[in-house]
Amino acid sequence: MDDQEFSSLPSLDQGLWKRILSILWIFKRDVLILFSFMVTLALGDVIFPLFNRFALDEFISAGRYLDRIPLFASLYVMLIVVQTFMVYLFIKQAGKIEMNFAYHMRKVSFEKLQRLSFSYYDTHASGWILSRMTSDINRLSEIVSWGLLDMVWGLAMMIGISVVMLIINAYLALLVLVMVPVLYVIARYFQKQILKAYRDVRKINSMITADFSEMILGIKSIKTLAIEPKREKSFSTLATSMRQKSIRSALFSSLFMPIVFAFASISSASLLSFGGQAVLVGTLGLGTLLLYVQYVNAFFEPLRNIARILAEMQMAQASAERVLSLLDAKEDIVDVSVTNEHIPLKGDIVFDNVNFHYIEGENVLTDFNLKIKAGQTVALVGESGGGKSTIVNLLCRFYEPTSGQILIDGINIQERPLSWLRSSLGYVLQTPHLFMGTIASNIAYGRPNASLEDIISAAKAVHAHDFIMKLEKGYDEPVLEGGAKLSVGEKQLISFARALCANPSLIILDEATASIDSNHEAILQDAIKTLLKGKSAVVVAHRLSTIVNADLICVISKGRIVESGTHNELINLKKRYYELYTHQFEQLDD
């Protein structure tokens, strides 16, 4: 079972592992040190039985060299000290590789995630990305450290034992080595079965977890629908099938070991009968025979693990594929390098014949043109799916237009670094997102060097100051995961303060008032007024009160502007806007 044969197994993807190993090669010094530890350890494991042989053949059978027993004992103890020190060192070393590799993979993946555009986040659920970053990287790091260690040790041990056995007595050695191909085939078979059974178990286990969490999170729906018996029945089917699959998987695993033992015992048995004969006629020492019996067990020890390691490798391969697919994901947005010159952004915006689609063939924007003068507020209204949010996304450069260009202050935004645009942007989205930290750190998010005065004045301007002061610790109140404990309205006010604190020259409100009930309406309107004062703004409209004061209102339908003008102009036009305005009181879409 040399390396060549190993990597040519059909189920192992060579190219993939080569890439993984090339990443591991960053830590080549540590890896080589680990290799040397493992080889030393395996050598020690090969030498131990030789001590026993010497004791049996010389001290016990022949009664020679008895005066050297103390020397024998001290050598033995020395070997033990070396061996156990190796154990300590290799664990430490493997841990070092595992942790550094995981750290490195996480780092490059995270950096990659920061560069990927929204089209990646649109097509990959957050849970999916998260498990690439956590469990997949963990599994991969484990196999390149501990898995590799097992393989090197096992291989060194088997080679070492084979060599010693062949040197001492080639004939007896063959009795052991002949079993290797047989056991290898058996291990391969079991590896497949165990892996398959194990996958089934994992799949059904995740279904059980999903069912539990769906039930607990949806308990109110289940209760009010009075469907408890139905859920209970379907769960118990799942639990039963979990039991059946788990037992099946356990049966395969517990069958494997006895079979390996049985085949190994054939080697031992033939050693006893052939070797025993030699001992009886006096051509073989008893110690040597027992050395071989001891070696048989040690020799098949690594082979017993081979099924497990191969199964783990296959799972790690799937993880590797997924992690690499994240690292290989195409970066849609190519940033130009940041220059030192500081050009302030004024806010003259031009959409020039912009086309855009998320999916090939389904144009969201078609030859879209729009001009916004610096300081103007433009409202976008219309049915959902019409392209309003897309316009905003393109302006923020979350996506690039398929064709056409967007100019800010007369320059195509693709020719300027992202930081130029985004550091001048104040953005508030429909569902507020707060980060863990404090209220103050959340408001200062867009300008980390903001002083407390800046933060407070931003909060005051959007009427968030009052409720913040009512919190136990005021601005230092910790914000828990997802901003729990704050109402949606409060979180949205903090988002407004955050946008204002960033001191932007261009403001984007993407349905920013949708989730706020009408009691907070008045406060919010005032907050928006403060926020938009003297700045270019694009507002995806939700409530008409936000729109009526806009300098320009565009009704967007199917990726085009079908009407534009001021509130009064459009009302007098008595067409789409008029219809929206008179028929729908509150929400223009869902």
Partner 1 sequence: MSSYKLLLNHIRKTAWMVGALLLFTMLVVLFTLMTPLYVSFFVDTILNLSEPSHPIFIWLTNTIVSVDVLRSNLWLAGIMLVLVTLLSGIFMFLRGAFNAILSERVIESLRNALYKHVLSLSHKEWSSHHSGDMIQRVTSDVDVLRRFLSSQLSELMYAIFMSTMAFVILLGIQPNLAWISMMVMPIIFTFAFVFFKRMQKAFKASDEAESELTTTIQENIQGVRVVKAFHQESHEMSKFESRNATYRDLTYKLIHQLGMYWGLSDFFILLQIVLVVVTGISFVLRGQLSVGEYTVFVSYVSMVLWPIRNVGRILSDMGKVDVALTRCAQLMNYQIENVNEGIEHKVVGQVEFDNVSLIYPDDHKKVLEGVSFTIDAYSTVAIMGATGSGKSSIVSLMARLVEPSEGVILMDGVPLSDISKHSLRSQCSIVLQEPTLFSDSIRNNLLVASSEMNDELIHSILTQTSLSSMIENFEAGLETKVGENGVTLSGGQKQRLAMARALILRSPMIIFDDSLSALDAKTDAHVRTALDQVDYPLTTLIITHRVASAKHAEKIIFLKDGQVIAQGTHDQLMTSCADYAHVVSLQEEVHHG
* Residues of span 293-322 touching partner 1 by CB under 8 A: 293
Considering only 346, 560, 567, 576, the residue that binds partner 1 (CB under 8 A) is: 567
Residue closer to partner 1 by CB (options 17, 93) is 93
Tell me which residues in 404-433 interact with partner 1 (CB under 8 A): 418-419, 422-423, 425, 427, 429, 433
Q: Of 248, 257, 233, 143, give the one whose Cα is nearest residue 200.
A: 248
**Which residues in the 167-226 window bind partner 1 by CB under 8 A?**
208-210, 212-226
In the list 55, 159, 177, 471, the residue contacting partner 1 (rule: CB under 8 A) is 55
The closest alpha carbon to 271, from 119, 168, 421, 354, belongs to: 168
80 binds partner 1 (CB under 8 A): yes
Q: Should residue 92 be labelled a site residue for partner 1 when binding is judged by CB under 8 A? A: yes
Residue of the chain from 126, 167, 328, 362 that contacts partner 1 (CB under 8 A): 126
Task: Label residue 29 exposed, middle or buried (CB < 10 Å: 0-12, 13-18, 19+).
Answer: exposed
Q: Is residue 343 involved in binding partner 1 (CB under 8 A)? A: no
| 363 and 357 Cβ atoms separated by less than 8 Å | yes
Contacts of partner 1 in 237-296 (CB under 8 A) = 239-240, 242-243, 246-247, 250-251, 253-255, 257-259, 261-262, 264-266, 268-270, 272-274, 276-277, 279-280, 286, 290, 293
Give the residue with the Cβ less far from partner 1, 11 or 244: 244
Q: Which two tokens stand for residue 204?
A: 């059904």
Binders in 504-533 for partner 1, by CB under 8 A? 508, 517-519, 521
Q: Give CA separation, 302 vs 12, 41, 187, in Å.
A: 20, 14, 11
State the number of CA atoms in the 13 A half-sphere of 501 facing the CB: 30
448-477 positions binding partner 1, by CB under 8 A:
448
Query: Secondary structure of 350-381 in the HEC alphabet?
Result: EEEEEEEECCCCCEEEEEEEEEECCCCEEEEE
d(CA 339, CA 351): 25
In the complex, the smallest distance separating the C-beta of residue 70 from partner 1, rounded to whole angstroms, is 9
Q: What span, in angstroms and rounded, lies between the C-alpha atoms of 223 and 243?
A: 28
Q: Which of 545, 1, 19 is nearest to 325 (CA)?
A: 19
Does 589 bind partner 1 (CB under 8 A)? Our answer is yes
Instruction: For the beta carbon of residue 71, count every other beta carbon within 10 angstroms.
Output: 10
Which residue, 4 or 224, has its beta carbon nearer to partner 1?
224
The H or E element spanning position 151 is: helix 148-168
| Helix or strand run (H / E) with residue 244 | helix 228-270
Q: Going residue by residue from 357 to 396, which x/- string records binding to partner 1, judged by CB under 8 A?
A: ---------------------------x-----------x
- Based on CB atoms, which residue is closest to partner 1, 17 or 479? 479
Query: What character string, x for contact with partner 1 (CB under 8 A) and - otherwise, covers 148-177?
Result: ------------------------------
